[in-house]
Amino acid sequence: MRVVSFHYVLKNKSGELLDSSSGGEPMTYLEGSGQIIPGLESQLKSCASGDKKKVEVKAKDAYGEKDSELAFDVPRTQFPPNEDIQVGMQFKIGGPGSDQEASPVFTVVKTSATHVSVDGNHPLAGQDLFFDVEIVEIRAATPEELSHGHAHGRGGHHHH
């Protein structure tokens, strides 16, 4: 397996800039570890250091299609009574004994006097994504990276 470092510019279908590594550290991942979206990883498998590539990733191979069951209204009475609920706030659902780690992050998308509308879809779910990628470095994964399941060092995971 390889460790791949790359710079990227991410845009949506209308050309709006969504994210970029420009001016920062490159993104670094261990192939096959699920650290980047599958549609992008599959397109980078054939790349070499120094390659520049435009990659289109369909929604199903990125953050998936929108799941309508993850968007719903919650009665305001389910929230703490003095809490000022604002659009954009995020939280996980679950109580004692629940597996909050497995719960999606819900974002408040609308509020009213009686209800709070929440959405547990990833913000980029349902969107085709367009990447401009430049491969900075490709190297063999170390035995330690393979056993830990992620890249170490510059741009990767650091142990302290």
Domains in the chain and their CATH numbers? 2-63+126-148 (3.10.50.40), 68-119 (2.40.10.330)
Q: Would you state the pLDDT for residue 57?
A: 97
Half-sphere exposure of 132 (CA within 13 A, CB side): 10
User: What's the whole-number average pLDDT of the chain?
Assistant: 90
Q: Alpha-carbon distance 103 to 114, whole Å?
A: 24
Q: Is the pLDDT of residue 135 over 70?
A: yes
Mean pLDDT of 65-78: 94
- The Cα–Cα gap between 45 and 31 comes to 8
Average pLDDT, integer, range 88-112: 79
pLDDT tens, position by position, 136-152: 999 999 999 989 988 88
